[in-house]
Amino acid sequence: MSSPRRVSLLTLGCARNEVDSEELAGRLAAGGWELADDPESADVVVVNTCGFVESAKKDSVDTLLAAADTGAKVVAVGCMAERYGAELAESLPEADAVLGFDHYPDLAERLGEVAAGQQIAAHVPVDRRTLLPITPVARPAASAGVTVPGHGWGPRVLRARLDDSPVASLKIASGCDRRCSFCAIPSFRGSFVSRPPEEILAEAAWLAGQGVRELFLVSENSTSYGKDFGRAHGGTRALERLLPRLAGIEGIDRVRVSYLQPAETRPDLVRAIATTPGVAAYFDLSFQHASEAVLRRMRRFGSTASFLALIDQIREFAPAAGIRTNVIVGFPGETEADVDELERFLSKARLDAVGVFGYSDEDGTEAEGFDGKLDEEVIAKRVARISGLVEELTAQRAEERVGESVDVLVEEVEDEVVGRAAHQAPEVDGACVLIDADDVQIGEIVRCRVVDSEGVDLIVRPDADR
Contacts of 459 (CB under 8 A, 6+ apart): 432, 433, 435, 450, 451, 452, 453
Q: Give the mean pLDDT of 182-203.
A: 94
Q: Give the mean pLDDT of 15-44.
A: 92
50 is in an annotated binding site: yes
Q: Give the mean pLDDT of 308-333.
A: 97
Cα–Cα dist 276/292, whole Å: 33
Task: Say if residue 341's pLDDT is above 70.
Answer: yes
Give the rounded percent of residues in the chain with a pLDDT score beyond 90.
Answer: 84
Q: Name the amino acid, one letter, at 220.
A: E
Task: Say if residue 244's pLDDT is above 50.
Answer: yes
Phi, psi of 193 (to 5 degrees): -140, 125
How far is the CA of 253 from the CAs of 212, 321, 405, in angstroms? 9, 17, 17
- The string of pLDDT tens digits covering residues 140-163 is 877 778 899 988 887 788 999 999
Task: Say if residue 1's pLDDT is above 50.
Answer: no
Q: Cβ of 445: how many Cβ atoms within 10 Å?
A: 18
pLDDT at 57: 83
Q: Maximum distance among all alpha carbons in the chain?
A: 71
- The string of pLDDT tens digits covering residues 397-428 is 999 999 999 999 999 998 899 999 999 999 88
Q: Give the mean pLDDT of 235-261.
A: 95
Dihedral sign computed on CA atoms, order 210, 251, 172, 198: positive
pLDDT at 137: 86
Q: Cβ of 440: how many Cβ atoms within 10 Å?
A: 18
Q: Give the mean pLDDT of 8-30.
A: 92
pLDDT band at 42, cuts 50/70/90?
Answer: very high
Phi, psi of 405 (to 5 degrees): -95, 135
**In terms of Cα–Cα distance, which of 400, 302, 317 is closest to 351?**
400
Give the rounded percent of residues in the chain with a pLDDT score beyond 70.
Answer: 98
Cα–Cα dist 44/64, whole Å: 12
**In terms of Cα–Cα distance, which of 186, 180, 129, 185 is closest to 301?**
180
pLDDT band at 232, cuts 50/70/90?
Answer: low
pLDDT at 15: 86
- The string of pLDDT tens digits covering residues 67-87 is 999 999 999 999 999 999 999
Q: Give the mean pLDDT of 105-120.
A: 94
79 is in an annotated binding site: yes
pLDDT at 2: 59
Cα–Cα dist 379/275, whole Å: 40
448 is in an annotated binding site: no
pLDDT at 141: 74
Dihedral sign computed on CA atoms, order 336, 342, 345, 349: negative
